[in-house]
Amino acid sequence: MGREISINGYQLEICSNSPQSALHAAQGGATRIEFCQNLENGGTTPSYGQIVQTRKLINIGMHVLIRPRAGDFVYSDLEFEEMLADIRFCKETGCDGVVIGVMNRDATVDIERTKALADAARPMHVTFHRAFDKCADPMSSLAILIELGIDRLLTSGLKNKAENGVELLKELVEYANGKIVIMPGAGVDSNNIEMILKITGATAIHSSAKDTVSSEMSYDRMEVAGMNEPIYMTSKEKVHQLVDILKKQ
């Protein structure tokens, strides 16, 4: 956590999906990254090589997404063991935190497994991710996360984009009352970051700040589908724009 400086009292987390994206986030002035891969499917846990390389590349906060697959957040015993193993590796590698989310079939927080993951992660920082946005009851779910001692909650306010969830986000910030950091995220950009922060009262915010990058292949065999799609990459310029806005708040 010592790597994370504030920007005029705010924390800016950038969701980065590769070592190159992480480097762009750091160069743009971000406070920390949420590190993942496969952002096209909502993000999954990055590989051993990506984690090791990125930790060497950046000196800002590095919080790794612990998500074994795309889809829902109800996990099998094997998947849960995989998550524990990934957390142990992140601790050994010197990561600053992990980002987790485990739900029950009835859309309540899986208390037992969330506690087990958080316990395994300490003394790293623990964030509960947007699995929360699928919960049945946001206030009772938030109360559970506070009781479990989770450090931070990434949420869009149960909407597709945070700008549409600002009223609930404001309620969550007020309910949390400093016991957990509420971090709005999803669709945050230079056009709405000021509005989201002003209405919600949040002091941490999350953005992918990404560009879509087309393939550099000069030849594509058209009769073979796929394997040449555009990819996402963190934009240093977009991160810098967000940082500049935060400096003026």
Query: Where does residue 189 fall: left (phi above 0), alpha (psi -120 to 50 degrees), or beta otherwise?
Result: beta
On the CB side of 210, how many CA atoms lie within 13 Å of its CA?
Answer: 23
Give the pLDDT score at 162: 98
What local confidence, expressed as pLDDT, does residue 4 receive?
A: 84
As a whole number of angstroms, the distance between CA 24 and CA 12 comes to 14
The pLDDT assigned to 226 comes to 87
The two three-digit tokens of residue 238, written as one number: 């977009």
Strand partners, 16: 35
Output the tens digit of pLDDT for each of the chain's 249 residues.
447 889 999 999 999 999 999 999 999 999 999 999 999 999 999 999 999 999 999 999 999 999 999 999 999 999 999 999 999 999 999 999 999 999 999 999 999 999 999 999 999 999 999 999 999 999 999 999 999 999 999 999 999 999 999 999 999 999 999 999 999 999 999 999 999 999 999 999 999 999 999 999 999 998 999 899 999 999 999 999 999 999 999
CA 136/CA 177 separation, integer angstroms: 22
Residue-level pLDDT at 1: 43
- Predicted confidence at residue 96, as pLDDT, reads 97
Give the per-residue pLDDT at 132: 98
User: What is the CB neighbour count within 10 angstroms for residue 148?
Assistant: 17
Structure confidence at residue 79 (pLDDT): 98
Its pTM stands at 0.96
pLDDT value of position 2: 47
> Domains of the chain, with CATH numbers?
11-215+227-247 (3.20.20.380)
